[in-house]
């Protein structure tokens, strides 16, 4: 397969504007209504090249792995903007045949975009505005494909019917068949002056902004459909759909576990031994939790209805608070002396033993868990 950059006649580091300019120049020259059937194959190649290089994500994929990495260069089973749609709109089957001229209008392809959202969006849901690239209706010709001041002209060969009759002789006698008109390709009209802005396609690639509704509980990889916000159709045809594929950004405090959220709170070993109330941050504001006396490291405190909103049913999951007891790594002489006195008062040995007795103290259990000296 020929290199897309060579087809458009641009360098591999060409800017989007240079690629766009090169495409317009070639497309106007090779447009089937201008160049005729002999330019059809070249027009097909140029359009395919621009479909890839004119899209930032497709171009990046192509640069990394070539045409094979594009898996056909369209999304949704070939529904995306691609050269086949355009080529078939000029040479597609079923044109003419006694059914009247074919319409140039074609439905636009679906557009797939990556959408990064926050964990808070997942918890509560809500509206999310973002910008993406898609084919939009040409502002110069408004989808009509012709240069302003001109319009498609009735084909002189078929008289606007889109088809012609052919008389052939066979062993059964004279036969009359109908075929698509070779001059207008079955459309009944010919675009003699293609629009300079869109090269006679009726649409151009541009950035557009939309708002998508994020449902609470959405997860990584899920796709949200927005009808009619994909690529604009050819010749004023209906637009395709937009599919936003969700990626949830990581959060510094919370980790998702299904419908639950997990967070960690660290307390000093003295606090764990004596107990206290601790204020923690949640997506619903600050909340107070109780650290019971003798709390061990790894204890989970469950707070109902403070987790992720459920995707297909009412309510929310839990907020799970993982309590971690912090054992000091450096002690002053006075702190060491006080702890040694406490250990002596409790009859606790400083040597490490395997296992534990029913009467082991909180400091012994901390020593067993962390492998340090009490």
Confidence band of 69 (pLDDT split at 50, 70, 90): low
94 inside domain: no
Which of 101-105, 176-180, 334-338, 361-365 bottoms out in mean pLDDT, i.e. has the lowest? 361-365
**Residue 68 sits in a domain of what CATH number?**
1.10.287.110
Residue 198 assigned as binding residue = yes
Question: Is residue 282 situated within a structural domain?
Answer: yes
- Do residues 123 and 18 both lie within one domain? no
Residue 195 annotated as lining a ligand binding site: yes
- Do 2 and 133 lie in one domain? The reply is no
Residue 242: closest CA among 138, 137, 105, 135: 135
pLDDT of residue 72: 44
109 and 210 together in one domain:
yes
pLDDT for the residue numbered 91: 42
Question: So what's the pLDDT on residue 174?
Answer: 67
Give 113's strand partners.
244
Q: Residue range 306-319: average pLDDT?
A: 93
- Distance between CA 227 and CA 235 in Å, rounded? 19
- CB-CB contact of 110 with 76 (8 Å): yes
Checking if the pLDDT of 175 tops 80, the result is no
Report the alpha-carbon distance of residue 4 to residue 373 in Å, rounded: 68
pLDDT class for 350, splitting at 50, 70, 90? Answer: low
Mean pLDDT of 331-341: 90
52-66, 328-342, 344-358: which is most confident: 328-342
And the tokens for 216? Answer: 């609470």
Q: Is 201 labelled as part of a ligand binding site?
A: no
Q: Packing angle between helix 40-53 and helix 56-65, nearest 10 degrees? A: 100
Percent of the chain clearing pLDDT 70 (strictly above) = 80
Please tell me whether residues 10 and 61 are part of one structural domain.
yes
Task: Provide CB contacts within 8 A for 317, sequence distance 6+.
Answer: 258, 259, 260, 261, 307, 308, 310
Do both 210 and 117 map to the same domain? yes
| Residues 292, 246: Cα–Cα separation, whole Å | 40
Give the model's confidence band at 83: pLDDT under 50 very low, under 70 low, under 90 confident, else very high.
Answer: very low
pLDDT band at 306 (very low <50, low <70, confident <90, very high): very high
Mean pLDDT, range 196-213, rounded to an integer = 91
Residues 1 and 134 reside in one and the same domain: no
Say if residue 74's pLDDT is above 60: no
CA dist., res. 297 & res. 362, Å (int):
11
| 220-255 confidence digits (pLDDT tens) | 999 999 999 999 988 878 999 999 999 999 999 999
What's the mean pLDDT in 279-304?
Answer: 96
The residue with greater pLDDT, 266 or 80, is 266
Q: Is 158 assigned to a binding site? A: yes
pTM, two decimals, is: 0.60
Residues 138 and 210 in one domain: yes
Model pLDDT, residue 329: 86
Mean pLDDT of the chain: 82
Closest Cα to residue 303, out of 321, 276, 279? 321
User: Is 155 annotated as belonging to a binding site?
Assistant: yes
Same-domain pairing of 235 and 210: yes
Does a structural domain hold residue 231? yes
176 vs 109, higher pLDDT: 109
The answer to the question of whether 295 is labelled as a binding residue is no
What is the Cα–Cα distance from 168 to 180, expressed in whole angstroms? Answer: 16
**pLDDT by residue (tens digit) across 54-65?**
888 788 878 777
The fraction of the chain above a pLDDT of 90, given in percent, is 44
pLDDT band of residue 96 (cuts 50, 70, 90) is very low
- Taking a C-beta distance cutoff of 8 angstroms, is the pair 317, 308 a contact? yes
Q: Same structural domain for residues 133 and 211?
A: yes
Predicted local distance difference test score (pLDDT) of residue 230:
93
User: How many domains does the chain fold into?
Assistant: 3
Domain with 51 in it: 1-73
Is 141 annotated among the ligand-binding residues? Answer: yes
CATH number at residue 210: 2.60.260.20
- Whole-angstrom distance, CA of residue 82 vs CA of residue 55: 11
285 Cβ neighbours under 8 A, 6+ residues apart = none
Does the annotation list 193 as a binding residue?
Answer: no
pLDDT classification of 373: cutoffs 50, 70, 90: very low
342 falls within a domain: no
Query: Cα separation of 112 and 132, whole Å?
Result: 10
What value does the mean pLDDT take over residues 304-318? 93
């Amino acid at each position: 397969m020929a290199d897309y950059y060579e087809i458009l006649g641009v360098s591999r580091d060409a800017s989007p504007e240079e690629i766009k300019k090169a495409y317009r120049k070639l497309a106007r020259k090779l447009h089937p209504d201008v160049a005729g059937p002999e330019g059809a194959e070249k027009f097909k190649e140029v359009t395919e090249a621009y479909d890839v290089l004119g899209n930032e994500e497709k171009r990046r994929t192509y640069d990394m792995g070539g045409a094979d990495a594009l898996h056909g260069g369209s999304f949704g089973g070939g529904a995306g903007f691609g050269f086949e749609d355009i080529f078939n709109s000029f040479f597609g089957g079923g044109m003419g045949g006694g059914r009247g001229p074919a319409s140039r209008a074609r439905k636009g392809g679906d557009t797939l975009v990556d959408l990064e959202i926050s964990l808070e969006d997942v918890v509560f849901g809500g509206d999310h505005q973002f910008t993406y690239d898609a084919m939009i209706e040409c502002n110069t010709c408004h989808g009509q494909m012709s240069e302003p001041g001109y319009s498609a002209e009735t084909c002189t060969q078929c008289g606007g019917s889109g088809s012609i009759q052919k008389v052939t002789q066979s062993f059964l006698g004279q036969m009359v068949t109908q075929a698509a008109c070779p001059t207008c390709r079955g459309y009944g009209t010919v675009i003699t002056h293609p629009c300079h802005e869109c090269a006679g396609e009726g649409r151009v690639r541009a950035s557009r902004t939309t708002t998508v509704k994020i449902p609470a509980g959405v997860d990584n990889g899920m796709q949200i459909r927005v009808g009619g916000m994909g690529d604009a159709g050819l010749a004023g045809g209906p637009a395709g759909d937009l599919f936003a594929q969700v990626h949830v950004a990581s959060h510094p405090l919370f980790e998702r576990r299904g419908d639950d959220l997990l967070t960690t709170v660290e307390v000093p070993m003295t606090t764990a031994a004596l107990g206290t109330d601790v204020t923690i941050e949640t997506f619903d504001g600050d909340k107070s939790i109780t650290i019971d006396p003798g709390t061990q490291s790894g204890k989970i405190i469950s707070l109902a209805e403070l987790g992720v909103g459920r995707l297909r049913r009412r309510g929310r999951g839990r907020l799970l608070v993982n309590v971690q007891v912090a054992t000091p790594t450096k002690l002053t002489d006075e702190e060491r002396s006080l702890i040694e006195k406490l250990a002596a008062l409790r009859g606790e040995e400083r040597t490490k033993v395997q296992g534990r007795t029913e009467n082991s103290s909180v400091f012994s259990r901390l020593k067993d868990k962390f492998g340090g000296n009490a």
